[in-house]
Amino acid sequence: MNLQHLLDDERRREEQRTKRWTPRHRVALAVGAVGAAIVLGTGGVLTAAAVAEINGFEQQTAAFASASDTSPPAPDSAAVPTPSTTGADPSASPAPAAAAVEPEPGGIATILGYTVYDETSDLALIPRPSAEFVEEWGDVDVETILMQNHLDAVCMAEKGFKAAYVAIWQTWENGDTFDVVDELDAFNDARTPGWEEAMWGAPDQPLGEDYDWKQAGCHGASVHATGMDDAN
């Protein structure tokens, strides 16, 4: 069990919830005027016939709008109220700022309301799923997930990187897993080749039957330590 498997599960849940057929960062545009759905995604194009239909529809709409345009008469300046020149009361107290969200015990920060943990966090302080959560979402191997997260963070810290984490299952009910992961990547400065190789190993490492956890970075070591090599 690792973060990639969790994200794959979350992606399937997200597709079922939203009924979207395209992945994140792609846009689906349904154009009813041409009697068909035109999908615009990465590398997607509009057919010439669809463009012609859209252009024709837009021209008809513009002509109708022009023909029916009746500009209202200019307002009587005498009837226009003069804005008040009275300024705000300088003695008035500013509205109180929203209270900062404090991390739960053992945490170091918060991201979108979720507590962030790192290599110094005591795993015993991290809340586990409730019985109601397990009943709805199924049994989750929380202890293995947390131990892998902890070992990842310790290993990465030794290499000079951050690998802070959240209790990822807490994001499932709100459906904001991807947003949290994006913010967590930024928090860890994880979008660099050096970080990725330290965590996952070299891009050209052997996979499949030739997989070697020693070449799979910090996460390969944590997966091995938790007896989950067969998950890779």
How does pLDDT run across 163-215, given as a tens digit for each residue? 999 999 999 888 999 999 999 999 999 999 999 999 999 999 998 889 999 99
Count of structural domains, the chain: 2
> Where does residue 168 fall: left (phi above 0), alpha (psi -120 to 50 degrees), or beta otherwise?
alpha
Q: Angle at Cα 168 formed by Cα 166 and Cα 173, nearest 5°?
A: 130
Q: Angle at Cα 188 formed by Cα 9 and Cα 130, nearest 5°?
A: 45
Q: What is the mean pLDDT of the chain?
A: 72
Q: Which residue has the higher pLDDT, 29 or 92?
A: 92
pLDDT, residue 134, reads 87
- Asked whether residue 226 falls in the same domain as residue 123, the answer is yes
H or E element that contains 11: helix 3-18
Query: 201-232, pLDDT tens digit by residue?
Result: 999 999 888 999 999 999 999 999 999 887 66
Identify the domain containing residue 54 by its residue range. Answer: 27-61
Query: 122-136, pLDDT tens digit by residue?
Result: 999 999 998 888 888
Residue 108 lies in a domain: yes
pLDDT, residue 139, reads 79
- Asked whether residue 107 falls in the same domain as residue 202, the answer is yes
Q: Which residue has the higher pLDDT, 79 or 32?
A: 79
Query: Rounded to the nearest 5°, which phi and psi values hold at 139?
Result: -70, 130
- Asked whether residue 140 falls in the same domain as residue 196, the answer is yes
- Asked whether residue 216 falls in the same domain as residue 117, the answer is yes
Residue 162 lies in a domain: yes
Q: Has this prediction a pTM greater than 0.85? A: no
- Asked whether residue 109 falls in the same domain as residue 32, the answer is no
Tokens of 229: 């090599």
- 136: three-class secondary structure by DSSP: helix
